[in-house]
């Protein structure tokens, strides 16, 4: 089939994060101030195909198309293919007209949603530690599973900080929520069964992690980076 309607048959190797190719194309195109028509003209393809790549999450353009797009967008081929997916978030450029705004308490809880991956900050024997873990929001508190001998278990009986954030490289936007409170072990059997039932996923780290810890917040705050349009 023509590339004007569907991608070439040759797929990007599995090492690339294919679902984000369109986002990378759109981000770079916008950084250069190019329209889809201008990008298509540079790459020798159709504007409708550029739109398809940017809007279809499963789009897998062939290598020849990617090479032409990389040249048209003045970017490394590896960048379009996701060669930087294992790097930390935030390596992109900030937007020209960005602004930091405060989130309300309601907005903070909305972004925490019901579950996800966050980071707990603990005062360890050798100094502060920050540990990523997946969590559940239950009854206005944060709950997570761990093993009794694991680092997150040392939070029990202490005042900790818990942070969740999101960065959108394509749009140069992001947000973060910081919650502080007392951590305690959940020992009631009925409560443990309820937490097990409500948990969206088993711990990503695997292994036996059947100790639940609850963080009851005494403060919660958040910030969001927004991009103001020119004009």
214 and 170 within one domain? yes
215 and 107 within one domain? yes
Cα separation of 107 and 159, whole Å?
Answer: 23
CATH at residue 29? 1.10.260.40
140 and 46 within one domain? no
180 and 109 within one domain? yes
The pLDDT averaged over each successive group of 10 residues in the chain (231 residues) is 33 42 89 93 94 86 89 83 70 81 96 94 91 95 96 96 88 91 97 94 90 98 86 52
| 228 alpha carbon, distance to own chain's centre | 22
121 and 56 within one domain? no
> What's residue 85's pLDDT?
61
Q: What is the domain extent for residue 199?
A: 99-227
Closest CA to 133 of 49, 38, 202: 202
Number of domains within the chain: 2
Kindly write down the DSSP assignment for every residue of 155-220, as one continuous string.
GTTSEEEEEEEEEETTTTEEEEEEEEEEEEE---HHHHHHHHHH-SS--TT-S---EEEEEEEEEE
CATH at residue 145? 2.30.110.10
147 and 72 within one domain? no
């Amino acid at each position: 089939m023509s590339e004007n309607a569907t991608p070439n048959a040759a797929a990007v190797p599995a090492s690339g994060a294919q679902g984000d190719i369109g986002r990378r194309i759109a981000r770079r195109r916008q950084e250069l101030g190019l329209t889809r028509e201008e990008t298509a003209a540079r790459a020798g393809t159709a504007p409708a195909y550029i739109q398809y790549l940017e809007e279809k999450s499963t789009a897998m353009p062939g290598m020849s198309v990617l090479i032409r797009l990389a040249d048209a967008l003045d970017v490394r081929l590896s960048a379009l293919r996701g060669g930087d997916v294992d790097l930390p978030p935030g390596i992109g450029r900030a937007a020209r007209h960005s602004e930091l705004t405060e989130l309300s308490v309601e907005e903070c809880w909305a972004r925490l949603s019901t579950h996800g991956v966050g980071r707990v900050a603990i005062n360890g024997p050798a100094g502060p530690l920050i540990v990523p873990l997946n969590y559940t929001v239950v009854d206005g508190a944060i709950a997570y599973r761990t093993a009794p001998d694991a680092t997150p278990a040392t939070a029990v009986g202490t005042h900790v900080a818990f942070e969740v954030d999101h960065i959108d490289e394509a749009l140069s936007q992001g947000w973060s929520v910081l919650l502080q409170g007392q951590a305690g072990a959940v020992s009631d059997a009925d409560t443990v069964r309820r937490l097990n039932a409500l948990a969206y996923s088993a711990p990503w780290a695997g292994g036996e992690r059947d100790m639940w810890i609850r963080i009851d917040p005494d403060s919660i705050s958040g910030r969001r980076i927004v991009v103001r349009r020119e004009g």
